[in-house]
Amino acid sequence: MPMEIDGQMYYRTSEACRKTGVSRATLFRWLKAGILEKHHKDRRGWRIFREEDLNKIRAEAKKVKVEYDFPGGRNDKGRFS
């Protein structure tokens, strides 16, 4: 259940994962990698996320990384590496 602190809505980790469709492991990996510049913690030290943070998580989840893998060891110019 979201909580309100100083007029701002915050979500716990499980809620953030559910609302963004990102697994807990992925979220923690992205936090460790610095995808979210900072994160907030409640008085118990648990991570909490604002709607702005959820939007950043959703945007990261929608990114597509294109990698070329050519059969037979060919590089992108059609030559063997």
Contacts (Cβ under 8 Å, ≥6 apart) of 28:
none
Sheet holding 3-5, edge to edge: 3-5, 8-12, 47-50, 40-41
Its pTM surpasses 0.85: no
**Identity of the amino acid at 37:** E
Residue 70's pLDDT is 64
Q: Which domains, from first to last, does the chain contain?
A: 3-62 (1.10.1660.10)
pLDDT tens digits, 17-44: 999 999 999 999 999 988 877 778 989 9
